[in-house]
Each structure stands twice: as structure tokens, then as C-alpha cells.
Amino acid sequence: MPLNYSKWDQLEVSEFYVYYLINAECLDLTIQLSDDSDIEGHPNVDKKSLIRWKQRDIHEKREARKHKIQTLEAQIACNKVLLPRITEIANTLANPSSGTPATTYFNNLVEQLTANPSRDCPPGNDPNKLEHTYDGMLLSLLKMVSEKAKERVKETGIPESEKDERLAKELAAEMAMHVKQLTETIERDQKEMEAEIAEQKKHITMDDLHEGFSSKYVPPIPAPAPVPTTKPEKKKATTKTTETSFEVLNPKGVEASTSSAPSEPGEDDDNEPEDELPELTPSLEAFSKLPIGDYEKSFEFIQQHRDVYVPGASDALLVAAFTAETEGKSKYAKQCVHQSLLIQYCEKLGRDGVGLFFKKMITGDKRAIKVFVDDVENTYQHIVNRVKITQEEARQGREQIQLVPENPNQTISFNVPDGPPPEDLVLEGPGTEGLDVEEVRRALQFRWDVFSGFPPELQEALKSGGLDAVNKVLGDMEVPEAEAVVNNLDLAGILNFAEGGIRDETGKGQS
């Protein structure tokens, strides 16, 4: 394939040297683009002076061409802003509305531009100077048009009654002429600018040189650190030991045998390595809150946050799911499980696992989606079951307050009030002769107030009358709260007990 050197024909004589930077050797190579034979001059003038003059002439013409192009661009932009406004004024003067005469519209426009001009101006102009703004330019044109129109009307010598009508026609004609002239000016400037730009492109200058390519070493982004972990607090078991000393005949032998005795199994437990729990980083926390099933957002998030796809991330999300389910945040727990399995599946698919997995999920592979969704449901249900078991174990291992009869022949019942005492309370039956009605009313009201202050689940258990139901509610309460409830039951007379006190049997798990 032959090489095409025609582009070098556009080089100017002034561009004597072009420097090429070679990265491999870091050298500047100089190429001379013109020799002395290109310059013809007077024999009495040395070649170096002629070359400098020619070079200066080319640079001056180049700068003048740049300045002219910039001036034409600014002039065309300014005229294109003014032309629609002048055209609108000319059309309004040519076809005035029935309610407003043309001269009145013109005078109002001049007054508006004089009293409240806008500060909008072309780039580079001073907005504080009226003549530099668009409104100032338009006002100057309108004043000039008004003066010329009035002079023509005056020269005609028509009667005073016809002057307004004639002035309106002169104003419309003058504005139409300026619209035509401005349109022609824009077209002429546009052609002239295009010609100057075409002439500028004929010559290759230093401004046209640019870096074709560069070879630079960019170090790879370091891999993000694994998910941080914390050691769970381990409660040390405290045991009480009783030491008995015996008097022996050979105390040194006994000390030696005692020192060589194997340590107890419990002493080595503290030295065993403990499992560390991974923690959620800020990026993982934001990743866990993405909606379930929105695989595109998850894929985009992993691409933008490399610290999400690191060792231990999936385990940290599962720990967060277990914690959230324990706190009653079922929706967030399932989101954590979903995002954890996303990372697990990507890791199992190998080096390109992220792209392969999300390609199947985003394109809607039904088989892959079904397998993944089923796995999410099963994993989440497993966490729910584990939370229930853990809570049950914790409930069984803590102290509880329970109501237990003192002997098998004794029963516990509850006098649950149906409501507050009626206003017309009447005491009837044997043994009520010496009772005060108001004291009885206060006692019944106190019983009702105590009952109404109990939690709804305790009220339902008391209404059922079953001791097991009441003990279940008391077992879910903390010990101080349950003790206060039992005391209130006894004070209000709701609890029918053989004795007024409570026997403590916490050592047996009951009271």
C-alpha cells in the first residue's frame, strides 16, 4: 500500500521544527520542514533576515485570521439574538392590533426599554453599561428609526391630522428595511467566517499537533481488605473448690507429684481458638438494603464497590440476617439472606462467576432463577427456625416467676372484674350489714384499675381462668416485672391464694 504524503503539502514555512516525543528513549527528534531554497529574496539581504520576516508575516496573518473568526462568531451570535426581536417589532408595526395604534405601541416599547432595560448582554460585554446590552442595542436602533421616520414625515408637509398614520407607515417601512439588512449581514458574515475557517484549515500549524498515543504504566487498584471480624465475648465459668490438707511424712514428694499432675480439662478451654464473627462494612450494609430480585442494581453495585465481593462478605450478611430476625426485622433479614446467596453463587462459579451469574439472572433464565429463589427461601426459613430455638433455649435458661399451689389439694383461681363498679351500688346478702358502700366501691374500682393496667395478653389469660395460661405469660416477662404483677394480683384480690405471700423456688425454675 503506497504512503500518502499529501497532507504535508499544507505545512507553512514558519513551522520550521516539529518535536516528537519518543517515550521509549525520552528523546526530542527535530525534523526540519523547509530549507533555504523555499525563500527567494534580494541579494543584498541575508537569508536569515528574510526567513524571520516571512515567519513574522505568517504569524501576524494567522493571528489576524483567528481574531477575525472570533469577531465574526460573536457578531453573528449577537445579531441572531436581535433579529427575532426586530422582526417581531416590524410585524407588529405593519399589522397593528385594533386596540393599540402602531405609534402608541412604538412609544411604549421605547419607554419600557429606557425605564427598565434588561442586563442580558453578549459574552464579554459589561452588563452595567446600557449600550453593551441587547436592550440597549435595540433601544439605540428604535431611536434612530424614530428620528428618520419623523424627518420623512416632516419633509412631506402633510396636514397634522394625517401625521400619525403616515408616521406609523414610515416606522413599519424603516423597521422592515433593518430586518432585511440584518438578515443579509448575518448571511454575509456567515459566508466570510466559513471562508476564513477553510483558509485556516489549509495550513498545518503547531496548534494542530496533538498526542497520538502514550504508553504509561498505571498500577492496578489494590484488592480490598477482607471483611473485619470480632471475637464474641466468652463468659468464664467460675467454680468453687474446697481444699483439704493432710499431714504426710514426705511433703517434698507430694509437692513433686502434685506439680506433675495433668491440668483439668476446663483450664485448656480458654486457650482454644474462638470463632470470629464477621461484621458488616458500610458498603455491605448499603448492599444488604437493595430490593430482593433487582439483580441489575446488585450487579451495578458490585461493579462500583469492590469491597463487597471479598472473603467473609456472605458470612457477614448471614450474621446480620440472624440478628435482624432476632430483633423482629423479618423483611431486612430476608434481604440479607438474598444478598448473601448472591455472593455465594458468584464465588462458586469461579473467576468469572459475577458475570456468569448475573447474566443468567438478568436475562431471565427461569431454571436458574427458580433454583436461586428456592435456596433463598430455604435458607431464610432455616434462620427463622434457628432464631426460635435460640429464643426458646434462652427463655428456658433464665429465671421465671410461676404460680404454684403449696400442696396438691390447693387450687389457684382468679376473680376477674367484669368492669368498674356501678354508680348505684347496692350491698345484698348475709355479712354485708356492717360494710360501707363507699369503701366497697373504692375496693372494686381499685381491682378494675389494676386489671385494666395489665398487658392485653395477661388480661386474656386471666379471663380464661387457666393457671397454665397465666404462667406462660408470666414466664415471658422479666423477673421484676412478673413479681410486680403477682403482687398487684394479690393486692387487688384477683388472685385467690391460701397464703398472701410468694414462695421462692427459683432454684427449681419456678416461684
Give 500's pLDDT tier (boundaries 50, 70, 90).
Answer: very low
Q: Identity (one letter) of the amino acid at 292?
A: I
Q: Which fold has domain 282-396?
A: Methane Monooxygenase Hydroxylase; Chain G, domain 1 (1.20.58)
SS3 455: coil
CA nearest neighbour of 459 among 423, 491, 419, 496: 419
pLDDT digit string (tens) for 274-286?
567 788 888 999 9
Question: Is pLDDT larger for residue 421 or for residue 147?
Answer: 147
Averaged pLDDT score across all residues of the chain: 78
386 has a pLDDT exceeding 80: yes
Contact 340, 321 (CB under 8 A): yes
pLDDT > 60? residue 251: no
Q: Which of 282, 292, 274, 388 is nearest to 340 (CA)?
A: 292
> What pTM does this model have?
0.39
Q: What is the pLDDT of residue 339?
A: 93
Q: What does the pLDDT read at residue 12? A: 54
- The mean pLDDT value for 492-511 works out to 53
What does the DSSP assignment read for 147-176? Answer: HHHHHHHHHHT--GGGHHHHHHHHHHHHHH
Residue 185 has pLDDT above 80, yes or no: yes
Q: What percent of the chain has pLDDT over 70?
A: 75
Q: What is the 3-state secondary structure (H, E, C) of 300-342?
A: HHHHHCHHHCCCCHHHHHHHHHHHHHHCCCHHHHHHHHHHHHH
Residue 101's pLDDT is 86
Judged by average pLDDT, the poorest of 94-108, 199-213, 330-344 is 199-213
Convert the pLDDT of each residue in 220-244 to its tens digit. 777 777 777 776 655 444 333 334 3
Count Cα neighbours of 486 within 13 Å in the Cβ-side half-sphere. 27
Tell me the average pLDDT across 34-56.
Answer: 70
* R_g over Cα of the chain: 50
Domain segments of the chain as ranges:
54-208, 282-396, 411-427+434-498
Question: pLDDT tens for residues 399-443?
Answer: 777 777 776 667 788 888 888 887 777 666 666 666 777 777 788
Query: 378 vs 408, which has greater pLDDT?
Result: 378
